[in-house]
Chains A and B, each alone.
Chain A
Amino acid sequence: MNQNDFMQLVSPFKDKIFRVAKRLLISTEEAEDATQEVMVKLWNKSEGLSVYNSVEALAMTMTKNYCLDQLKSKRASNLKIVHNNFTDRTPGLQQQVEDSDSLSWVEKVINQLPEQQRLIIQMRDIEQYEFAEIAKILEMNETAIRVALSRARKTIREFMTKTHRYGIN
């Protein structure tokens, strides 16, 4: 397999890897590093890729494991990545600003979820994987995934309803 073949194989899902990594690691730079790392790992085993029936699922599993390792590693515990550059929603702003702001509200809520729920939300609601695929990637059974997903969505709903009603955090 040469470089071109590899890039063709990988390009449909390399953005997905990046987004999943960013969902877990929050920081864009960390996510970029993770994506590159996963790509290089895939490339190094490119001869053996034909054994797997879905390279994408393999890549996703690798991404998940890599990111969780990163989060567990000493480095991550020394340097905590916190995303706190959100502005308050002040009344009187134009509708569009308000819209993009509530989008960042959603992001904030999702990023506060436990890692596993974050992963599931990312894969289901953003990347729109089927439950069977998610089950394979996360090495969990489908029922557990549905339960976690439902819990995550309800947490988000609770938060959104609260913000909507009171206009406060």
Chain B
Amino acid sequence: MELIKIEQLLEKYFDGETSISEENELRAYFSSSDVAQHLEHYKPLFGYFSNAKEQQFEQQVPLHAKKLKIAWISIAASVVVLLGAGTFAYFNYNQPKQNQDLGTYDNPEIAFRETQKALELLSSNVNVGVESVQYINEYEATRDKVFIVD
């Protein structure tokens, strides 16, 4: 190619006026072996441009992987929750049936005695708590003696 034309193209190139095809002409010229001496220093520039276009993106694009994982995790989680709720319901459903039959008395007198016994047991246990409260009352009496309260 004529040197003059290349020089003109270069001039246009640096003014940002060249078209893609003209730029390709320049590229072709500078990638050939016979580049004029005084234009030698542009060689790496155009060489770099063609070189830089070779770079590729090698990673996988994580499109479905993420979504699938989330889907699977949620499925697994819901299964676990369902199983948990299921076993809980199952055991709770069976237990009341066993405990419901507490026995009964046919004779009202025996029933009365048994009830009294149960209530006595309850009240004696309540009194255990009341006895320990007595100490606090003692403490309060002492306090009233020390700090004369009117």
Chain A residues proximal to chain B, CB less than 8 Å: 3, 6-7, 10, 14-15, 17-19, 22, 32, 35-36, 39-40, 43, 99, 102-103, 105-107, 110, 125-128, 130, 145-147, 149-150, 153-154, 156-157, 160-161, 163-164
A48: min CB distance to chain B, Å = 16
Q: How far is the CA of A154 from the CA of B62 in the complex (A)?
A: 41
B55 cross-chain contacts in A, Cβ below 8 A = 15, 18-19, 22
B52 cross-chain contacts in A, Cβ below 8 A = 19, 107, 126
Closest 4 CB pairs of A and B: A164-B41, A150-B16, A18-B57, A102-B44
Is B16 within 8 A of A147, CB to CB?
A: yes
Indicate whether A154 sits within 8 Å of B14 (C-beta atoms), given known contacts A36-B59, A39-B61, A103-B47. yes
Chain B residues proximal to chain A, CB less than 8 Å: 13-17, 20, 23-24, 40-45, 47-49, 51-53, 55-57, 59, 61-64, 66
Q: How far is the CA of A156 from the CA of B41 in the complex (A)?
A: 11
Q: How far is the CA of A125 from the CA of B45 in the complex (A)?
A: 10
Is A15 within 8 A of B56, CB to CB?
A: yes
Is A6 within 8 A of B13, CB to CB?
A: no
B16 cross-chain contacts in A, Cβ below 8 A = 145-147, 149-150, 153
Is A3 within 8 A of B53, CB to CB?
A: no
Is B44 within 8 A of A153, CB to CB?
A: no
Closest residue of B by beta carbon distance from A150:
B16
